[in-house]
Amino acid sequence: MKPEPGLELQGRYQLVERIALGGMGEVWRATDLRSGRAVAAKILRPELAGDEIFLSRLRAEAANSRGLRHPNLAVVLDSGERHGSGWIVMELVQGRALSDILAERGTMPPEEILPILAQVARALQVVHDSGVVHRDVKPSNILINREGLAKLTDFGISMGVNQRPMTATGMVMGTAQYLAPEQAMGNMATPSGDLYALGVIAYEALAGHRPFTGSTQVDIAFAHVNQPVPPLPDHLPAEVRE
């Protein structure tokens, strides 16, 4: 199944235009033909159709995010499969990724970034209370609308309670720059790891750079394990630096 304008999913959601492309899926703006409402449809990339590993991940993403309700989470509305492909239909968030904002501005003042972090933390509380670990909290997965409302998105590598692991023992899942030390060591991801990633985002937004760097993803991951967190700039309020 090749996503293209006019394609209908489940005879209900009609694709309009592609708005994002990820490693596993394409995100399309679509129209709910029953309500006329604009929605977002995440569809497995055509070259991955029939790949049971990626289909399983898409099913897990739908299962882990379905039923989660919070103002700071993008609501999942529907999901389905056809001809070896699959999709998730969700609330269309009109906003910019925090990663784009940081790339454009470099830093954000505490009074601007701290409310965003608080919103994401509240969303994570709901996620964790439901027994799910997000495992990929990073700026590109946080969308901010014009009113400053933050939405945590993309449960593509999340892990739920009693969910069978889809990765080999010791395999690292997540993005190295935001990876908690225990995950860098190949240990089980926990809710604390999501909060650690949120702390890295805070550091990046306040300092204008991430706390740990390296020439390879492995080097960056192990810097989280072996190096102390560098101090934040002196111009920031002391309580924020602490």
- Bridge partner list, 144: 96, 150
CA 21 – CA 113 distance, rounded (Å): 26
Where on the phi/psi map is residue 106: left (φ > 0), alpha (ψ -120 to 50), or beta? left
Which of 32, 129, 136, 154 is an active site residue?
A: 136
DSSP string, 135-157: ----GGGEEE-TT--EEE---TT
154 as an active site residue: the answer is no
Q: Tokens 């940081």 identify what position? A: 102
How far apart (Å, rounded) are the C-alpha atoms in residues 156 and 61?
Answer: 5
Q: Which residues are catalytic?
A: 136
